[in-house]
């Protein structure tokens, strides 16, 4: 009889950005809503290129998920919904190609901005 391999656990999750800091990422996959032990969250597959709580990130980035209940996560998720995105092809292009800066204010609110096309060298 052949031995079987078993594995348990969850996939990587991006650490929370500290207040007053930012992280650089690129969207790399599925956007969905997930149920967590802290309730419903918006979940985005991303490649992380910089983050203040990671000592070393390889040049190709780290594949992870950004999960958040924040207003910016909800707004981004809704802006990327099929019925909304079909009317905004420039957002589709930016989501698929641009680098994004996820900022957290000193008060704890999140904001996200895309870098301009000329800044997408990753």
* Residue whose pair of structure tokens reads 């007053």 in the numeric block: 20
Q: What is the tens place of the pLDDT at every residue in 47-99?
A: 999 999 999 999 999 999 999 999 999 999 999 888 887 788 888 889 989 99
- CA 40/CA 79 separation, integer angstroms: 18
In a domain, 44, yes or no: yes
* Residue whose pair of structure tokens reads 């390889």 in the numeric block: 58
Q: Domain range for residue 84?
A: 22-115
In a domain, 41, yes or no: yes
Which band of pLDDT confidence, cut at 50, 70 and 90, is reported for residue 3?
confident
Asked whether the CA dihedral 35, 38, 40, 43 is positive or negative, the reply is negative
Q: What is the tens place of the pLDDT at every residue in 105-115?
A: 999 999 999 98
pLDDT at 120: 46
**CA 77, 92, 42: angle at the middle one, nearest 5?**
15
114 forms beta bridges with 100
Which band of pLDDT confidence, cut at 50, 70 and 90, is reported for residue 104?
very high
In a domain, 97, yes or no: yes
Q: What is the tens place of the pLDDT at every residue in 4-29?
A: 988 888 889 999 999 999 999 999 98
In a domain, 15, yes or no: no
In a domain, 122, yes or no: no
């Amino acid at each position: 009889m052949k031995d079987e391999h078993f594995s348990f656990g969850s996939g990587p999750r991006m650490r929370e950005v500290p207040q007053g800091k930012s992280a650089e990422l690129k969207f790399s996959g599925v956007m969905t809503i997930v149920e967590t032990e802290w309730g419903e969250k918006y979940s985005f597959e991303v490649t992380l290129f910089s983050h203040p709580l990671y000592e070393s990130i390889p040049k190709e980035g780290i594949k992870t998920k950004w999960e958040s209940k924040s207003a910016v996560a909800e707004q981004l998720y809704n802006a990327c919904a099929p019925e909304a995105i079909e009317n905004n092809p420039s957002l589709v292009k930016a989501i698929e190609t641009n680098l994004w800066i996820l900022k957290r204010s000193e008060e704890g609110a999140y904001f996200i901005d895309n870098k301009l096309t000329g800044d997408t060298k990753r």
